[in-house]
A and B are shown apart, each in its own frame.
Chain A
């Protein structure tokens, strides 16, 4: 295994300062492409549904373009070495999400979601710019680890005091807007995990007692592990109370991945998987809501055989199947048959039906690229906090995509969760822009440290 740090140390002293390309031009070109693709999709929906280019096409394109350009200039100004793929991927996914939501709005004239989503996207991009401009160095966040964890728990607890919506207490409603505080908690928890593990990783890796005779399976001392397990139990407990299993799965996965990366102990993965299996079995057996989801997953057509018509998962599978390889074409599918949550949790079914396996693969690849760029930034960085933060943020995206995309395609039991950037849901869009902003910041640090400049 090569270590990025040692390569640089060897090449450093005599060499003249290497000018790394900043690649802002590439980023700009890709952003233009992303905006054009989104506008093209928007026009395509209008042409397919009404035979005309939608009246708002120019405004929509201009709005998205201005937002993307503002973000681009913020990056150019404050994070000139940042990875040039991150922002265009965010813009494209967000633009595509708006197209899909607009397309579904046409089927539900009484319930328009795209305008609100556009407002939230604007807020998200604004947050992105604020983070990129104000957060000059990601290591500052390390200082606020405990603020973050208190904030995260506060956000997770908040919805308990609000009425449940569709069986889950994860929303709060303020002035007509519903907010999902748990979304923001993800980023805060990732910051806390990264900071805590970066500080205590040696203690976690090397102190503690062995279980049985396996050298690798070594439990750290309670003093080190205590806080982190407590936090994790609290967050999962809160989520089980709120019946939001997707998010608790996400936190658990994040926890295990970061613990492994920090300590290198394979044992953690084994223990994590074991705990996950036990937890899943227990919850699946005891909790009727979750038990139903597992039954649906095993027998997606059970309600059809019972004469009650297809349930949401069956409708989702029908939608994906109807798409086939090339898709029905934007605006020409019938994913609205899914009914409730077609624009949020099941948004991917619309993409699958209208863009086909080809479009779906492209979307998965975009997510894959986003995750890969995050990991790459983590590899290039030298400070453990930054590395863990990058890996954590990228893993959040990967886990989220896996949990919800696997759910709606019948790979794993369905748990409600927003497809990053695509799905309707303001909190989710804002959070994902924050994640991309942090990844931009981290990747900028990762590359600028090689540019002969002193970044510290």
Chain B
């Protein structure tokens, strides 16, 4: 019987099978099991500690609420609608958007840089506390833009020209991202409600919506004309007819204002003569117009601030009539409010366009810096001399032309209005545009460049004009920036 007992002990090989199988599950297939979307562990780990904060002007605009549920911490927002286009949402059910999305690794604590000894953390399975994201926003400018837009639909973007720091990024109507933070039926209802809303409150109009820029695009066309030498003297007559028959067609382009025939560039810019700029665009030619538009940031798909930005477009395959329309910001020319703020910033910064950005710094929870200075690419959008001329032209618009509403006592202000037609046969309610920059008399350089767009279906059609509707908003934002202490002058 001894022999049989010994043989029966082979039975213990069953335990060996268990060990082999446990190794399969715990080592070799562990990765795929861990990553299975139905496995809640990653979610539990993600929400089991407070999320890092997003800071504006040194003060957090976000927070974390301990719900005591399985997914423990929920995102909270202070003044959610004001900052929603910047923060986005961080939902346990619907993922993340905007800064919450692009800085998620830092905020949620998974960024390896957050841990002083990454390998050690890996070993003891500790998650670092979430880091903080310090934004470039100017609290006062953001608030001014938001309250000036009020109940109207629109967007405001403000940039510090010398650095590319985004000072304000507002989109209305907005929403409170806190209603999406948690999970469960209330969040699902909010999600459905926000998505079904005809006013699209979750659409970030400042960076994710393109509009025909209309007359504000004349800044680009004028710069192209000056850079290419088509215009040598801004005060010389341009020899342009009014009305202007679009090349190769029988369509005639007219102006809103009188006195555009044969006007100088300065006068044409001041009074926003369509005929002059349409013809200038054709004279400059599609190659030079395209090159200049590209230098200002059009047709760039790679821009991240750090979240992605909708591509602003300038159509490169156009005939001469289409080029004429493109050059006055119609046809297929489209721009985000951020793009138009970049155009204004390039003029204000002597022709140099600094790539805009929203995140100044990321820090650990205890405040130690994570990122060293990020490099922000600089591009020559036009010659410095051209930029000087353009500044003059834009100042004239505010001092004497259509942009009078943007004037600020004690400051140099340059601007350009725009009223963009859109819709089939231009039947849509036009968009009111205003782009501008401002420099206090004590400042060494312009401190702010702004773009404002207002799309308002409820307003009387006649009232919608860049100068009437959008310029006061731009002025309020510029004043807010000029009145705040200059913290960065690099």
What is the interface of chain A, defined by CB distance below 8 A to chain B?
1-5, 257, 260-262, 264, 301, 304, 309-310, 314, 317-318, 320-326, 328-329, 332, 334, 337, 352, 356-357, 360-361, 364, 367-368, 371-372, 375, 378-379, 384, 387, 391, 395, 398-399, 401-402, 405-406, 409-411
A335 closest partner in B (C-beta): B41
11 pairs of residues in contact across A and B, judged by CB atoms under 8 Å: A261-B4, A264-B3, A304-B36, A317-B29, A317-B33, A320-B26, A322-B39, A324-B30, A364-B15, A379-B5, A402-B15
- Tell me whether B21 and A318 are in contact (CB under 8 A): no
Once the chains are docked, how many angstroms separate the CA of A352 from the CA of B22? 9
**Which of A5, A398, A401, A410 contacts B21 (CB under 8 A)?**
A410
Q: Is B193 an interface residue (CB 8 A)?
A: no
Distance in Å: Cβ of A53 to nearest Cβ of chain B: 20
Residues in A with CB closer than 8 Å to B368 are none
What is the interface of chain B, defined by CB distance below 8 A to chain A?
1-9, 11-12, 14-15, 17-19, 21-23, 25-27, 29-31, 33-34, 36-41, 44, 123-125
**Which of A318, A364, A375 contacts B36 (CB under 8 A)?**
A318
- Tell me whether A398 and B22 are in contact (CB under 8 A): no
- Tell me whether A1 and B2 are in contact (CB under 8 A): yes
Across the A-B interface, how many residue pairs have beta carbons closer than 8 Å?
Answer: 139
Residues in A with CB closer than 8 Å to B30 are 320-322, 324
Once the chains are docked, how many angstroms separate the CA of A411 from the CA of B20? 10
- Tell me whether B21 and A409 are in contact (CB under 8 A): yes
- Tell me whether A1 and B8 are in contact (CB under 8 A): no
- Please give 10 more A-B residue pairs, beta carbons under 8 A apart, in addition to A364-B15, A398-B15: A3-B2, A261-B4, A310-B38, A314-B36, A334-B44, A352-B25, A352-B26, A387-B1, A402-B15, A410-B25
Contact A314 B5, CB 8 Å, known A357-B27, A398-B12, A402-B15: no
**Which of A384, A398, A399, A411 contacts B1 (CB under 8 A)?**
A384
Once the chains are docked, how many angstroms separate the CA of A334 from the CA of B124? 16
Residues in B with CB closer than 8 Å to A387 are 1, 5
B20 closest partner in A (C-beta): A411
Q: Is the interface of B mostly helix, strand, loop or mixed?
A: helix
Residues in B with CB closer than 8 Å to A357 are 22-23, 26-27
Once the chains are docked, how many angstroms separate the CA of A401 from the CA of B40? 28
Distance in Å: Cβ of A260 to nearest Cβ of chain B: 6
A333 closest partner in B (C-beta): B41
Residues in B with CB closer than 8 Å to A391 are 5, 8
Residues in B with CB closer than 8 Å to A318 are 33-34, 36, 38-39, 41
Contact A375 B39, CB 8 Å, known A317-B25, A402-B18, A409-B25: no
Residues in A with CB closer than 8 Å to B1 are 261-262, 264, 384, 387
**Which of A4, A257, A304, A328 contacts B8 (CB under 8 A)?**
A257
- Tell me whether A360 and B22 are in contact (CB under 8 A): yes
Residues in A with CB closer than 8 Å to B11 are 257, 395, 398
- Tell me whether B25 and A364 are in contact (CB under 8 A): no
A310 closest partner in B (C-beta): B38
Residues in A with CB closer than 8 Å to B25 are 317, 320-321, 352, 409-410
- Tell me whether B4 and A264 are in contact (CB under 8 A): yes
Once the chains are docked, how many angstroms separate the CA of A325 from the CA of B17? 17
Once the chains are docked, how many angstroms separate the CA of A378 from the CA of B29? 39
- Tell me whether B44 and A405 are in contact (CB under 8 A): no
Distance in Å: Cβ of B416 to nearest Cβ of chain A: 54
**Which of A320, A368, A401 contacts B22 (CB under 8 A)?**
A320
Residues in B with CB closer than 8 Å to A304 are 36-38
Distance in Å: Cβ of A267 to nearest Cβ of chain B: 13
- Tell me whether A260 and B8 are in contact (CB under 8 A): yes
7 tightest A-B contacts by CB? A321-B33, A321-B30, A402-B14, A411-B21, A304-B38, A357-B26, A318-B39
